Amino acid sequence: MAENLEKELLICTNNLKKIHPHFLHFLAPKIEQKNKFPNEIFLLDRTRVILNEKPDYYHASYVDGCKQAKQYVLAQAPFNETTACDFFRLVMQCKPELIIVLMNLNLNDNEQYIMGSKPRKYGTISVRNEKNESRSLSKETIEKYSHHKLIIMKEMEKIEQKYQLLTFNTWTDDMIIPKDDFIKFHKLVHKQLEDKPRECSQLVVCPTGAHRAGIWAVFDMESERLKTKNRIRFSDTIKSVRNQRCNTIEHFELFDGLLNLLVSYAKTQI
C-alpha cells in the first residue's frame, strides 16, 4: 500500500510541475546575460540541460522524441564569447549525432560564434571546422544547405572531438518557413542519422532556441509517426513540445506554417 501511495504522489508531483512550471535558474540575476531574449524566451528548470561543470547554465532544453526520451536538445545560438564557450561545453557533453543549425552561418561574420573562417579559442576550448560537401550535390543545394565537420578540443585533454554540422541557409525569418527547402533539408539531415535515435541525437540550434527549433522537433516527430504508423498527432505533439520547451509555436504564423508544411510532406508520402 505504501508503495502504491508513493507512486501516486510521484505522479501528482510530476503533474504539478507541468501545471506550475519553474524558471528559477533562468531568472537568477547572474544568468540574464546568458539569455539573448531574457524578456521573451524562457527556460524551464525541469527540462533544462545542466552542464557538468560550473557554470552549469546554457539556454537549452531536452525534448522527448516519439520513442526516445531526450532525443532532441533545443538550443539558443551563442551570441558572445561567454555563451560560445558554454555552447561548446554543451556539445562536448551531449555528443550529438548531428548539430542542426536552422540559420545561415556566415563564416566571415564575427558576430556568429558557432563557426568561423579561422580556428577560434574560447577559454580552454579550441574550435575549428572543415567543409564537408558532397560532390554529388548540386550547386543550388550547396548554397542552401552547408555541411561541415566541427572539431573541438579541450586544452587539458588534448583529444579532438568531431561532430557533423548541417546548416539551413535559406531560413532567415522565424515566422516564414521555407517549405520546399525545409523538406529537402530534412531529407538531407536523416541521411546523416542512424535509424534508431538515441539521447541527444539531434542538437537543434536557432537564434531563439525555440521558434525554428520547435518547428523542427514537431515536424521531425510527426514525419516519423507518419512513416511508421501512417498517422499524425499534430496537436498532442505541439502540446508535448511546448510543455518541455518554452515559447515554441506560440505564434499563429508558425502554427499555420507548420500545419501546411506537414500537409505538403504527407502528400509526398502517399
pLDDT tens for each residue of 35-85: 999 999 999 999 999 999 999 999 999 999 999 999 999 999 999 999 999
Give the Å distances, CA to CA, from 76 to 35, 41, 133, 256. 8, 10, 25, 23
Sign of CA dihedral 85, 103, 199, 32: positive
Q: Which CATH class is domain 38-268?
A: alpha beta
pTM of the model: 0.89
pLDDT in tens, 130-168: 887 666 667 777 789 999 999 999 988 888 999 999 999
Helix (H, G, I), strand (E, B) or coil at 23: coil
φ, ψ for residue 170, nearest 5 deg: -95, 0
Short-list 16, 76, 63, 9, CA closest to 239: 63
E strand or H helix that includes residue 258:
helix 252-268
Q: What is the CA 175 to chain-centroid distance, rounded? A: 17
81 CB neighbour count, 10 Å cutoff: 13
